[in-house]
């Protein structure tokens, strides 16, 4: 396989990785780096621009580029004054590098803003310090019908 990326050799199936993100349970303020890699769309030799949005926090855009991301790309990251955003874009056959600080306990969605792609699975959930959250009080169920159904199992 050539050592460059083109429409003909950048098969999305070659870059599928099953990954697990473990955010700290008790410690806060951990730095998390995310690389979004764009490849072929479902149609062969076609790629799409994707807009990604993070709930619950902002992130820094450290860099972006064409082709397949490698560790060497990290040398060019903007660590002095990166953009602070909650939405970014990943260009055709490209990558975007993000960084956020895990300091907001909760369950936060990170997803492509194109609804069809969201339904196709272009989303992840960051469960961050959830054991630090208080339990939902029973009194929070203010709708009588909902409370009855939830509490009585009817």
Q: Which of 12-26, 33-47, 60-74 shows the lowest per-residue confidence on average (mean pLDDT)? A: 12-26
Section 35-41 average pLDDT: 84
The predicted pLDDT at position 98 comes to: 96
**Per-residue pLDDT tens digits for 76-132:** 999 999 999 999 999 998 999 999 998 888 888 999 988 887 777 888 888 888 888
Q: Do 87 and 51 form a contact (C-beta atoms < 8 A)? A: yes
Please give the domain boundaries of the chain with CATH numbers for all domains: 12-152 (2.60.40.420)
Stated pTM of the model: 0.72
pLDDT of residue 148 exceeding 50, the answer is yes
Section 25-36 average pLDDT: 77
**Three-state SS string across the chain, please?**
CCCCCCCCCCCHHHHCCCCCCCCCCCCCCEEEEEEEECCCCCCCCCCCCEEEEECCCCEEEEEEEECCCCHHHHHHCCCCCCEEECEEEECCCEEEEEEEEECCCEEEEEEECCHHHHHCCCEEEEEECHHHCCCCCHHHCCCHHHHHHHHHCC
**What proportion of the chain, given as a percentage, has pLDDT over 90?**
34
C-alpha to C-alpha distance for 74 and 77, rounded to whole angstroms: 5
pLDDT of residue 50 exceeding 80, the answer is yes
């Amino acid at each position: 396989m050539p050592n460059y990326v083109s429409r003909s050799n950048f098969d999305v199936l070659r870059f599928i990785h099953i990954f697990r993100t473990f955010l700290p349970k008790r410690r806060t303020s951990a730095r998390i780096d995310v690389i979004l890699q764009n490849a072929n769309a479902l149609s062969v030799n076609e790629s799409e621009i994707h807009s990604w949005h993070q709930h619950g926090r902002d992130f820094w855009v450290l860099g972006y580029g064409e082709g397949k991301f490698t560790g060497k790309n990290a040398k060019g990251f903007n660590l002095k004054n990166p953009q602070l955003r909650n939405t970014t874009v990943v260009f055709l056959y490209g990558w975007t590098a993000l960084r956020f600080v895990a300091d907001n306990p909760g369950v936060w969605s990170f997803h492509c803003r194109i609804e069809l792609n969201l339904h196709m699975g272009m989303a992840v959930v960051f469960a961050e310090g959830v054991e630090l959250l208080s339990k939902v009080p029973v009194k929070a169920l203010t709708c009588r019908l909902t409370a009855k159904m939830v509490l009585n199992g009817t």
